[in-house]
Structure 1
Amino acid sequence: MATETPAGDLRLVGLTRRFGVFTAVDDLTLTIAQGSFFALLGASGSGKTTTLRMIAGLEEPTAGQVCLGDRDITGLRPYRRPVNTVFQSYALFPHLDVAENVAFGLRRRGIRSVGKQVAEMLALVQLDGYGRRRPAQLSGGQQQRVALARALINHPQVLLLDEPLGALDLKLRRQMQLELKRIQTEVGITFVHVTHDQEEAMTMADTVAVMNAGKIEQLGNPVDLYEFPATAFVANFLGQCNLLAADAAGPTGDDVTVTAHGTRHSVPVGRARADRGPVHLGVRPEKLRLAGSADEVPPGHQHVTGVVSDAAYVGVSTQYLVRTGWGSELTVFAANTGTEGRYPVGTPVVAYWLPEHAFLLPRAPGEADRTTPVLDEPVAVLP
């Protein structure tokens, strides 16, 4: 086992991985701050898992470097890197009890007295008293905690998590999201979490990188990515978004004036990724409200008219589709507060919003509305 090196930021420099003519990861340069909870978020084939495997040493880069602090670890074998990985499958040893599963890495290094460290790790993952059980006697969430304890007991500088919650049911997955964040805060090491689940990434991570076709579309904290996406792909990958084809006339004072389907709207300058020419006018479904007529729209709001084409009650909200006069369907999430009326299918309505809740994104000339989640690129299947 290599001696521990000084901890530091994890840096990926020009990292590239090609499989024949297909480029899975394309010249990726990224710095992951020491002690942060970082999420690589993307659809299948976006390159996120290949990136994680190159950090772990399980995949050899075609080009580029993996550095930890000032040390280049690109050429090190996986077992010589101060990095551990928790996989979706957990890979626990069925013939060993929980305590021996957790102690496995220490015993491989020749450490005999492991009882205290194992007990501390089991307490950390809230499995006190489970040491003598076998993996088959545990629930999926408990097995996930054992895998986490087994990785953490080696005191890695970086812990890699490859879709670790994917096999859990929804309720347990949400519980484990909170647990993972608690554990990361307590141990203070760098977590790099790969997932396709945007809620998972936004719940746990300090910083999220949205990957698409081997590149990072946008990097930042979850609030900034959701509230002010940089591209149409990010807007529709992180939740849903109504993107209306519009044309911007440029800034006038503090606002940018745009025309969408014959109606003029304004967006604050600070909410514009593009302020001239073809743009998408974006509004999240939960930022839209419905009224029965334009007379009911509060002052200072902007609006479009349409007809309810679908209404789905989902408990916390009612999700409406509103078909506009030009044919697109806008999605509206109306919170079920008990204070607002219901709008049956076929009801004429007005969808309205505050200008500061909208944003402008670049739009390719001739590109139409994008009002349903779509991918910019076809999904590629890695060999």
Structure 2
Amino acid sequence: MTDQDLCIENVTKTFGGFTAVDDLTLTIPDGSFFALLGASGCGKTTTLRMVAGLEEPTAGRITLGGLDITRMRPYKRPVNTVFQSYALFPHMSVADNVAFGLRRKGENRADTRRKVAEMLDLVQLGQYGSRRPAQLSGGQQQRVALARALVNQPEVLLLDEPLGALDLKLRRQMQIELKRIQTEVGITFVHVTHDQEEAMTMADTVAVMQAGRIEQLGAPAEMYEFPASAFVANFLGQSNLIKAEVTGQADGHVTVDAHGNRLAVPSARCRVTSGTALLGVRPEKLHLADGLAAVPSGHAAVQGVVTDASFTGVSTQYLVRAPWGSELTVFVPNSGIAAPALPGAQVAVHWSPAHSFLVGS
């Protein structure tokens, strides 16, 4: 923890009988790109609004760099927010939009012009200062909103679903752009989103929220590879989750019985070690073979029947009905090495035990 961290301590927010944020404690490191990720209604936007000063906590406190900002007026906080709607002034030029906050603070004209030019260059809109927002694309308007927030040199920049209004290609470009800008300015970015790809692409740390609480917090790759729960496993990408009963532990592995299949999971990849559990494997970690005889030594395997094959470009998504009735999703790269499997084909779905995980059911 450093002197400039944003700390949310035992914060609860209720609206009547509904608890939107439930005893939340969270430290967001200074200079980090932090994402709050969750479905609608999980409490992520309410948390952001409390940091911004647009909502007041029912209980708990929020500090920034040791300063208690829990009940400080929004305009007095060293915090700025970028909204999905951009909220640009349509009658002003791009440069005047960016300069708005500086002029309100009484900054002199020469410094304002210099800072506005620097910010427009940072967001790669140096030639667009004289245009009106309506003359810009959605992505360019989002950059103007970003420049307007950053020019005030906030200690924390709050991003509320900032890319939600953009089309897929532009959204992906802006993800890379936002990360570049955050790295250059070094300001703490707190990004609220329901888009797991967006969070994983940009953030150093992701907090997955559910029902006002944090389900799991960590680096995107760690959380993807070893989710804390079935909810996180399914919210961060796709997972095959197979119901299983833990039968024992030996040689650094937990053994389970999954519908009559005896399978092993490394102990270090198990969130539970007894009772009923869910054995998880990501679709891209699964492989197809013509039969059990073709499965590599040491791999876990189950037999099944291909029910569907969907070409998605870089890979083909297969659905394979397992003997117990549910379907496993398998992503096979379209590398041209293996012949495609056809619906109706009998196959063995196999994986390395090191790529599986065990969570509570």
TM category (shorter chain) comes to: over 0.9
**Is contact 1:7–1:157 with CA below 8 Å preserved after alignment?**
no
The yes-or-no answer on 1:230 pairing with 2:228 is yes
CA distance in 2 between counterparts of 1:25 and 1:70 reads 22
DSSP-derived class of the 2:114 partner = helix
Give the CA deviation at 1:265.
Answer: 0.6
CA distance in 1 between counterparts of 2:168 and 2:338 reads 29
Deviations 1:166-187 (A, max 9, x none): 0001000000000000000000
1:252 is matched with 250
CA distance in 1 between counterparts of 2:248 and 2:83 reads 49
Letter in 2 for 1:286: E
Corresponding residue to 2:152 among 154, 176, 179 = 154
2:49 is matched with 53
TM-score w.r.t. length of structure 2: 0.98
CA distance in 1 between counterparts of 2:234 and 2:186 reads 32
1:18 is matched with 14
**Is contact 1:248–1:259 with CA below 8 Å preserved after alignment?**
yes
Give the CA deviation at 1:250.
Answer: 3.3
Give the CA deviation at 1:79.
Answer: 0.2
CA distance in 2 between counterparts of 1:327 and 1:193 reads 40
Letter in 2 for 1:85: T
CA distance in 1 between counterparts of 2:125 and 2:65 reads 33
Letter in 2 for 1:327: G
CA distance in 1 between counterparts of 2:84 and 2:320 reads 39
Deviations 1:146-182 (A, max 9, x none): 0000000000000000000000010000000000000
2:202 is matched with 204
The yes-or-no answer on 1:182 pairing with 2:180 is yes
Q: Tell me which moved more, 78-87 or 62-71.
A: 62-71
DSSP-derived class of the 2:180 partner = helix
**Is contact 2:10–2:60 with CA below 8 Å preserved after alignment?**
yes
DSSP-derived class of the 2:275 partner = strand
Give the CA deviation at 1:7.
Answer: 6.1
Corresponding residue to 1:129 among 112, 116, 127 = 127
CA distance in 2 between counterparts of 1:180 and 1:312 reads 33
Letter in 2 for 1:259: D
CA distance in 1 between counterparts of 2:120 and 2:37 reads 29
Corresponding residue to 2:80 among 76, 81, 84 = 84
State the number of aligned residues. 358
CA distance in 2 between counterparts of 1:172 and 1:7 reads 36
CA distance in 1 between counterparts of 2:245 and 2:324 reads 16
**Is contact 1:308–1:345 with CA below 8 Å preserved after alignment?**
yes
Give the CA deviation at 1:110.
Answer: 1.1
State the 4+ residue runs in structure 1 displaced beyond 4 angstroms.
none
Corresponding residue to 1:37 among 33, 36, 51 = 33
Q: Which runs of structure 2 are paired with 1:263-342 in the superposition (5 Å)?
A: 263-342=261-340
DSSP-derived class of the 1:172 partner = helix
1:138 is matched with 136
Report the identity percentage.
69
CA distance in 1 between counterparts of 2:17 and 2:247 reads 42
Letter in 2 for 1:111: E
The yes-or-no answer on 1:195 pairing with 2:193 is yes
DSSP-derived class of the 1:141 partner = helix
TM-score w.r.t. length of structure 1: 0.92
DSSP-derived class of the 1:276 partner = coil
Give the CA deviation at 1:248.
Answer: 1.2
2:118 is matched with 120
Deviations 1:175-222 (A, max 9, x none): 000000000000001000000000000000000000001100000000
Across the aligned residues of Structure 1 and Structure 2, the Cα RMSD in angstroms comes to: 0.9
1:349 is matched with 347
CA distance in 1 between counterparts of 2:131 and 2:121 reads 15
2:218 is matched with 220
1:370 is matched with none
Letter in 2 for 1:25: V
Letter in 1 for 2:29: A
Unpaired segments ≥5 residues, structure 2: none
Deviations 1:249-274 (A, max 9, x none): 23212111111000101111111111
Letter in 1 for 2:289: A
Give the CA deviation at 1:276.
Answer: 1.4
Letter in 2 for 1:236: N
CA distance in 1 between counterparts of 2:284 and 2:339 reads 16
CA distance in 2 between counterparts of 1:308 and 1:127 reads 51
Letter in 2 for 1:94: P
2:97 is matched with 101
**Is contact 1:249–1:258 with CA below 8 Å preserved after alignment?**
yes
